[in-house]
Amino acid sequence: MFSVPHMVGSDLVERLSAASRQAPPDYLAAARLTLQSLLRRPDCLAGVELARRSGGYARTLLFGDDQLSLWAMVWDVGARTPIHDHHCSCCFGVLAGALTEIEFKPIDDTTAMATAQAVRGAGHIACMLPTGPNLHQIVNDQAREAISLHIYGYDHTLRPNSVHREYRLAAH
């Protein structure tokens, strides 16, 4: 197990780890509650050295065990993920700033078309199971840095990330 020392809310994350062995709906409910509690604590990352990448996004592992991983992601202005889906459960909450989430519908195994777009401000939480298709892209198209927290249902020591497949945008 990996855990950032002295992270505010680490007790919540350890309880979530135990809940991760429950049925998927119960686990997702526990993940949502964990994110709600962490997002209500603006100091939850106080003392944590967060990775940053100019023009992109960077991830910092806050907690990980054989069932789940919790990451802080710092989004520079202009940062964007590829269009992707997940091989595991995915819950994210916006801690600071705002991010645009674009949802997609797959056309085939490599191509997708946009179906919806919304700005997700501080406090927003979304949770999904890998029952798919759950294709999306996260973009920081705002004028300042954003920070989000992500809970994924995978062992961070076995896989480099939660992405199952990346897609390209279909031509119009």
Q: To which residue do tokens 């939480």 refer?
A: 125
In angstroms, the CA 73 to CA 148 distance is: 5
Between 130 and 38, where is the model more confident? 38
Q: What is the pLDDT of residue 165?
A: 87
Q: Is the pLDDT assigned to residue 7 strictly greater than 70?
A: no
pLDDT tens-place string over residues 9-58: 667 777 777 777 777 788 888 899 999 999 998 888 988 999 999 999 99
Q: What is the pLDDT of residue 75?
A: 98
Q: Is the pLDDT assigned to residue 132 strictly greater than 80?
A: no
For 82, the domain range is 2-169
Q: What is the pLDDT of residue 8?
A: 59
Q: What is the CATH number of the domain that holds 161?
A: 2.60.120.10
Q: What is the pLDDT of residue 15?
A: 78
Query: Of 37-46, 86-95, 155-164, where does mean pLDDT reach its minimum?
Result: 155-164
Q: Is the pLDDT assigned to residue 151 strictly greater than 80?
A: yes
Q: Is the pLDDT assigned to residue 88 strictly greater than 90?
A: no
State the total domains in the chain.
1
Q: What is the pLDDT of residue 146?
A: 98
- Longest CA–CA separation in the chain, Å: 50
- Nearest partner of 95 among 8, 2, 157, 154, judged by Cα: 8
- Answer for the pair 128, 90: CB distance below 8 angstroms, yes or no: yes
In angstroms, the CA 79 to CA 81 distance is: 7
- Nearest partner of 85 among 28, 162, 25, judged by Cα: 162
